């Protein structure tokens, strides 16, 4: 049961410095190549291509409905791409290789009366697919305790999962996802509904995981700013299309205008980035056309 080689030692995750962030070329953990997705007659993703490497923190930025969740579901094999392919560790993704992805879904709703402690939920991250009743074992208990300590949730271990606050639940869910020792951790809008401080703490935790423990972290957010300081790479989604690269390469007026199909300006306000629509009469026209199409 104990796999010391794969298990993460997280106790000092947050304080670890990024070792050689832009050093040697690392192996690609995940690559999407020309992925198209149709959902109930609508093209949700179109020609999405990008790659992320071990030890990198990648932000997936896009507004609601930009296709972030759909993209993750395709990576996880929960939704099929109509064309293009998903590569995990350089090989076409299979049911087996997808097992090694850690995933924290958006909006996990847990009823307050569930008879489940945080430690039970984290434990299920290790062996939810196994049959039979889990026998209490020291190795399992230690692994869970260590993981909870790593994400700074030791004090929550015996609390009911349904009564945790948003930030506390995110920590527990991250611990749950990390239990299987994944090399790729995907998080869907973990900062939604979090206050600024808990949000920043979660980002720091994830950055520590990526840079200190060589996990590839892929995280969706609708606001780019909380991630600016830790992000190695950004995948910007708009209208089902994607642009990827470093922040400097992607978050530029020309690139984003092309992506949105509509002129935008990128403003830098005291180190924060604001992406706003450019004033253009053409733009209003396109918007109305779009609305008209939806009505049909």
Partner 1 sequence: MFSSFMVNTWLAATTVAAIAGVVGFFVVLRGASFVAHAVPKSAFAGAAGASLLGISTLGGLGAFSLLGALTIGWLGRRGRHDVATALSIVVMLGLGALFLSWSAEYASEIYALLFGQVLGVSGSEVLVTVVLGAVSLLAVATLYRPLLLSSATPELAATRGLRSSRVELAFLLLVALVTTTAVPVVGALLMFSLMIGPAGAAQALSRRPATAICLSTAIALCTVWLSIAASYLSNWPIGFFVGTLAGLAYVAARLAAAALRRRAVSVERLGAAGR
Partner 2 sequence: MRALFEPGFFASTPVRTALVVGAIVALASGVIGVLTVIRSQSFSGHALGDVGTVGGSAAFLANVSPLWGFLGIAVLASGTMELFGVERRRGRDVATGVVLGAALGLSALLLYFDTTSTSTSGAAVTILFGSLFTVSSDLLPALAGLGGGVLGAVLVMYRPLLLSSVSSELAAANGLPVRFLGVAFLVMTGIGVSLSALAVGTILSTALLIGPAAAALRLTRRPGRAMLAAGASGLAATWLGILLAYDSFYWPPARKGWPVSFFVVALVLVFYVGSGSLSSARSRRARGTT
Q: By CB under 8 A, is residue 111 in contact with partner 1?
A: yes
Residue 42's binding partner out of partner 1, partner 2, none, with CB under 5 to 8 Å set by partner kind: partner 1
- 277 contributes a contact to partner 2 by CB under 8 A: no
Residue with Cβ nearer partner 2 (5 or 132)? 132
Give the nearer residue to partner 1 in terms of CB position, either 43 or 99: 43
Nearest approach, Cβ of 54 to partner 1 (angstroms)? 38
Chosen residue from 128, 139, 267, 287 binding partner 2 by CB under 8 A: 128
Among 113, 158, 268, 270, binds partner 1 (CB under 8 A): 113
Structure tokens at 67: 């296709």
80 binds partner 2 (CB under 8 A): no
Q: From the CB of 216, what's the least distance to partner 2, in Å?
A: 16
Which of residues 40, 80, 91, 295 is near partner 1 by CB under 8 A? 40
Residue 129 binds which of partner 2, partner 1, none (CB < 5-8 A, kind-dependent): partner 2
Minimum CB separation of residue 41 from partner 1 in Å reads: 4
Q: Is 64 in the site for partner 1 (CB under 8 A)?
A: no
Q: Which residues bind partner 1 (CB under 8 A)?
A: 38, 40-43, 111, 113
Q: Which residues bind partner 2 (CB under 8 A)?
A: 76, 78, 95, 98-99, 103-111, 113-117, 120-121, 124-125, 127-134, 158-161, 173, 176-177
């Amino acid at each position: 049961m104990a796999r010391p080689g794969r298990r993460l030692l997280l106790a000092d995750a947050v304080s670890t410095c990024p070792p050689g962030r832009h050093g040697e070329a690392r192996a690609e953990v995940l690559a999407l190549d020309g992925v198209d997705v149709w959902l109930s007659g609508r093209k949700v993703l179109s020609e999405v291509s990008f790659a992320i490497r071990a030890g990198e923190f990648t932000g997936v930025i896009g507004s609601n409905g930009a296709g972030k969740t759909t993209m993750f579901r395709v990576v996880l094999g929960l939704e099929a791409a109509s064309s293009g392919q998903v590569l995990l560790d350089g090989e076409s993704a299979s049911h087996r290789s997808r097992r090694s992805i850690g995933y924290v879904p958006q909006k996990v709703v847990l009823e307050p009366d569930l008879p489940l402690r945080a430690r039970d939920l984290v434990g299920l991250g290790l062996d939810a697919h196994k049959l039979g009743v889990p026998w209490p074992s020291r190795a399992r208990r230690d692994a869970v305790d260590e993981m909870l300590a790593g994400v700074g949730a030791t004090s929550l271990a015996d609390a009911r999962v349904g009564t945790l606050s948003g930030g506390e639940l995110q920590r527990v869910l991250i611990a749950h996802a990390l239990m299987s020792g994944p090399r790729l951790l995907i998080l869907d809008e973990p900062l939604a509904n979090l206050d600024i401080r808990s949000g920043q703490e979660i980002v720091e935790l994830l950055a520590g995981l990526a840079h200190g423990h060589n996990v590839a972290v892929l995280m969706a957010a609708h606001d780019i700013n909380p991630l600016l300081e830790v992000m190695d790479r950004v995948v910007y989604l708009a209208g089902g299309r994607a642009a990827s690269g470093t922040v400097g390469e992607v978050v530029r007026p020309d690139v984003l205008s092309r992506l949105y199909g509509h002129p935008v300006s990128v403003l830098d306000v005291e180190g924060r980035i604001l992406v706003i629509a450019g004033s253009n009469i053409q733009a209003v026209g396109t918007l109305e056309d779009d609305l008209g199409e939806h009505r049909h």
